[in-house]
Structure 1
Amino acid sequence: MSDRIFSQAGALPLPDTAFVPGVTRRPESGVFIDVADAAPETTDPAGWADNQAWLYGFALYGNGFFWEAHEVWEPVWMGLRPNSAERMLVQGMIQLANCCLKLGMGRPRAAARLAHHAADCLWNAGHGRTARVMGVDVAQLAEASVAYAVAIDAEAGSGALERLVARRPVLEWKL
């Protein structure tokens, strides 16, 4: 990761606590809200390495801020061309974040449905492609998402939801 990109998104502070609907109070302010609000109206897929909302979402997701990751990725998704590989990728990643959020809320069936939907989106994003999309190896992430959906289906009734969250697919980008 280049220093320029790290300073753009990786150095932004994380929220104090993760928002979990029905458990914690919804935040009304914070860096992640400012980043989401400042996201460009149109997302340039070729300029992903300069998109602060896109990159900050990785830090949020990786640190367990799933609702917040969704919030910063949503304007990125909205700014992409409909039916594009990039839009499918971002939709899949949003669904993975939502899946983890549902696990944290104790809703494994909803989480399993979202994990399967994420995998479908990611497969569609990577269909016929071997290269990365917006810095993400979509084929690898699609495979990890399918495995995660299967794990949720198999273990959701065991009550080990926190363990499932910890085993979530790793989201990473590379130049």
Structure 2
Amino acid sequence: MTKSSSMGLTRRGLLSAFAATAICAAPTYSKAAGFLRGGGDVRKLRMYSGRTGEHLNMVYWIDGKYVGDALAEVNHFMRDWRTNTGINIDTRTVDIMAAAHRLMDAREPYMLLSGYRSPQTNAMLRSRSSGVAKNSLHLKGQAADLRLDSRSVSQMAQAAAACRAGGVGRYTGSDFVHMDCGPVRTWGR
């Protein structure tokens, strides 16, 4: 699902760009976008959904600009799979996810558990769990619940919190981390 071939980019060229930028990408910036600015001119996101079977592996930022077609794919991928409805996902959340993934030096894609949630889905989940907020940032396309098999909840949460760009929730019992672009805060164990 990547648009890189239509933009004249090759796999070898992208790998070279990632290798060259890894040297100057030190996690010392206070915001995810700032951290990514130090990472070069290419930003990438890799995810899969166990619910839909879909995979996403794409460059969504090149030379200081978001790639519109790539963001459209992110919006579709992170849709509410229960209602098949979507919304524009806040690019700040995408940047936090990408920055945390990069900080962890993870090779595997994120498993997306929840991206955008329709009001109907959020209400249904609230009726089943006290851990679902009435005014969840998922309703605004500003949050994602993610898992990595190769990293613990603690490692993922520490990487996301290091971005200092939004909320980070640890859900150790359910084995996932919530990342959002709301106020900087942390919760859970």
TM-score calculated relative to the size of structure 1: 0.28
TM-score calculated relative to the size of structure 2: 0.27
Which structure dedicates a bigger proportion of its chain to strand? Answer: 2
